[in-house]
């Protein structure tokens, strides 16, 4: 069988690596891919929002199956589009993707189905939002409604910071903004909780803790993610059941009442307070870098799981995991998440010899004349599976030091809450 993976980041490289292990696949294509996917798949230079060109490539090359990695094409309806041409696609449709595409859609769903979440207000005008702030306790959270690559969230310590955040959102920093969301600040510990669904049933697909802030000690601006570890230190059977009963099941009930069957990954970003889960946000795909952290732990044939979802047979598959702990560190371009330079050569990458349970996933890279160049803010992901998180982190840092890339930086404290 032939498969297309859509996307170009570390998540998509990890997906390609996991698919490559399946004996059911003959060929993997990645649209558009990066320098890492090019090592195990054939990169095809098509933009991920050019649905017609993607469809033509799939038809012309007799592709059997499509996996959509990033959120943008999902929210824009690529699954609906490809399915009209009888193309088998793993991923949620346009309605279901509103869980990520609109934070306000999700908040209203939470309100209707009594899903625990932060108290909130929705505003269409700067003036109304500013009036609301006068009665708020700080810190407070201000969010852009649509997709913002994980960066459209402000944690504001005072009124002036909140007003600035609202103005930046309405002035188009994250695209056209018709509404802004203001939420109470929940003080607890974050947890990423993943499920995979075939539209009829679902199975859990691991937990992780992401590290969003750019600086060590969880300081500085929000990013797409500086690293992660799996499983989350908060995970336990009782909490998992609460998440399913109070958050996941009511969400699926709401989608079903919209005549919407959810096929794909659902990623619940949670805040856990005194062992009680609160939904911060949903993502309708695997997280990045959580995907790179979780997939290397998977023992079951990954393609078999995805195929079972599109065939509505997920209940027939048993998902098995390696017992090791996994930790990922993201190597970024200096300046990220603000301005940074691209096209900087990364030396020594090809000289690194990876041992068992050691992985390097490419995120923002490209190949030019046999050289690997940076091509994004988050450039490489270093993932280690081992008996404990400290060993994983030490080994990941050792790999990064072997590259000795002067234009890069990374957080040395990934997993600091679980490593003593």
CA–CA separation, 293 vs 206, rounded Å? 10
Query: Could you read off the pLDDT of 179-188 as tens digits, one per residue?
Result: 899 999 999 9
Task: Provide the 10 A C-beta neighbour count for residue 308.
Answer: 19
Q: Which string of b and e fits 268-296 if b means at least 16 CB within 10 Å?
A: bbbbbeeeebbbbbbbbbbbbbbbbbbbb
Within 13 A of 366's CA, how many CA atoms are on the CB side? 11
Strands 325-333 and 227-230: antiparallel
Query: What 8-state DSSP symbol labels residue 408?
Result: E
**Residue closest to 166 by CA, chosen among 104, 223, 122, 135:** 122
3-state SS, residue 402: helix
Rounded to 5°, the CA angle 29-203-286 comes to 40
Closest CA to 383 of 410, 365, 408, 404: 410
Could you tell me which of 363, 365, 383 has the C-alpha nearest to residue 374? 365
- Structure-block tokens of residue 46: 């098509």
Domains in the chain with CATH codes: 2-93 (3.40.50.20), 119-184 (3.30.1490.20), 189-316 (3.30.470.20), 325-409 (3.90.600.10)
Distance (Å, whole) CA 228 – CA 270: 15
**Alpha carbon distance 332, 60 (integer Å):** 37
The tens place of each residue's pLDDT in the chain, 420 residues long, gives 999 999 999 999 999 999 999 999 999 999 999 999 999 999 999 999 999 999 999 999 999 999 999 999 999 999 999 999 999 999 999 999 999 988 889 999 999 999 999 989 999 888 999 888 988 889 999 988 867 655 678 889 999 999 999 999 988 787 777 789 999 999 999 999 999 999 999 999 999 999 999 999 999 988 999 999 999 999 999 999 999 999 999 999 999 999 999 999 999 999 999 999 999 999 999 999 999 999 999 999 999 999 999 999 999 999 999 999 999 999 999 999 999 999 999 998 989 999 999 999 999 999 999 999 999 999 999 999 999 999 999 999 999 999 979 999 999 999 999 998
> Across the strands, what pairs with 226?
none
pTM above 0.85, yes or no: yes
Half-sphere exposure of 320 (CA within 13 A, CB side): 5
């Amino acid at each position: 069988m032939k498969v297309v993976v859509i996307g170009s980041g570390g998540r998509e490289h990890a997906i390609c690596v996991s698919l490559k292990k399946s004996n059911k696949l003959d060929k993997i294509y990645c649209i558009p891919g990066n320098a890492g996917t090019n090592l195990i798949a054939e990169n095809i230079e098509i933009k991920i929002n050019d649905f017609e060109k993607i469809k033509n490539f799939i038809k012309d090359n007799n592709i059997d199956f499509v996996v959509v990695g990033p959120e943008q094409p999902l929210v824009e309806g690529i699954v609906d589009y490809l399915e009209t041409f009888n193309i088998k696609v793993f991923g949620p449709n346009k309605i279901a993707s509103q869980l990520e595409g609109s934070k306000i859609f999700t908040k209203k769903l939470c309100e209707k189905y009594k899903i625990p979440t932060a108290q909130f207000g929705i505003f269409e005008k700067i003036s109304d939002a500013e009036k609301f702030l006068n009665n708020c306790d700080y810190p407070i959270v201000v969010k852009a409604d649509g997709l913002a690559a994980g960066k459209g969230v402000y944690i504001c310590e005072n009124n002036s910071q909140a007003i600035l955040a609202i103005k930046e959102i309405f002035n188009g920093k994250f695209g056209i903004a018709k509404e802004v969301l203001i939420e109470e600040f929940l003080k607890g510990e974050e947890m990423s909780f993943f499920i995979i669904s075939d539209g009829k049933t679902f199975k859990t697909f691991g937990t992780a803790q992401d590290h969003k802030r750019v600086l060590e000690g969880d300081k500085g601006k929000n990013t797409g993610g500086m690293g992660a570890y799996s499983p989350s230190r908060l995970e336990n059977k009782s909490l998992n059941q609460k998440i399913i009963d109070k958050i996941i099941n009511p969400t699926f009930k709401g989608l079903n009442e919209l005549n919407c069957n959810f096929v794909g990954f659902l990623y619940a970003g949670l805040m856990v307070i005194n062992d009680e889960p609160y939904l911060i946000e949903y993502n309708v795909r695997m997280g990045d870098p959580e995907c790179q952290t979780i997939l290397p732990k998977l023992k079951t044939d990954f393609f078999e799981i995805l195929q079972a979802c599109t065939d509505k047979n997920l209940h027939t598959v048993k998902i098995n995991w390696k017992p090791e702990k996994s930790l990922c560190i993201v190597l970024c371009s200096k300046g990220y998440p603000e301005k940074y330079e691209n096209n900087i050569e990364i030396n020594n990458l090809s000289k690194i010899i990876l041992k068992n349970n050691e992985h390097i996933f490419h995120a923002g890279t490209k190949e030019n004349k046999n050289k690997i160049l940076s091509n994004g803010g988050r450039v490489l992901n270093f993932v280690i599976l081992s008996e404990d998180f400290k060993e994983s982190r030490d080994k990941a840092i050792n790999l990064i030091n072997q590259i000795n890339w002067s234009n890069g930086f990374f957080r040395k404290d990934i997993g600091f809450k679980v490593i003593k």
